[in-house]
Amino acid sequence: MERLRKLMAHHTLSAAGFADKIGVQRSGVSHLMSGRNKPSLDFILKILEAFPDTDLYWLLTGQGQMFRSEIPVAKPQASQEEKIVVFYPDGTFSSYKPR
């Protein structure tokens, strides 16, 4: 897969180093590189977790830019109430609101 080669080259990683970085077996990357297998959704998600600046659309299709110009960050909503929830072994729970 040419896009994997480009991503590895950009990060100066060998196939083995790439596998270690994203947390998959080295043989899995080897099978993808040889064209024997296609990447699973789990494999793609591991790439995005290890390299969050990589553009998903580019990774899937090869179109667009390799990297996103901005990484979205989840922002907490102001309307959410904070509370502490304690779960007990019998399935019950208690919740507490901080002062």
C-alpha–C-alpha distance, residues 42 and 23, integer Å: 11
Residues 29-52 have a mean pLDDT of 93
Whether residue 89 is contained in a domain is answered as no
Q: List the one residue out of 1, 32, 3, 6 whose CA is nearest residue 19.
A: 32
Write the single-letter amino acid at 23.
G
Q: Do residues 68 and 55 make contact, with C-beta atoms less than 8 angstroms apart?
A: yes
Whether residue 91 is contained in a domain is answered as no
Q: How many domains does the chain have?
A: 1
Q: What is the CATH number of the domain that holds 27?
A: 1.10.260.40
C-alpha–C-alpha distance, residues 77 and 63, integer Å: 34
Q: What is the pLDDT of residues 52-98, one digit of tens each?
A: 999 999 999 999 899 987 655 555 565 566 777 778 878 788 887 77
C-alpha–C-alpha distance, residues 55 and 71, integer Å: 9
Check pLDDT > 70 for residue 18: yes
Whether residue 84 is contained in a domain is answered as no
Whether residue 82 is contained in a domain is answered as no
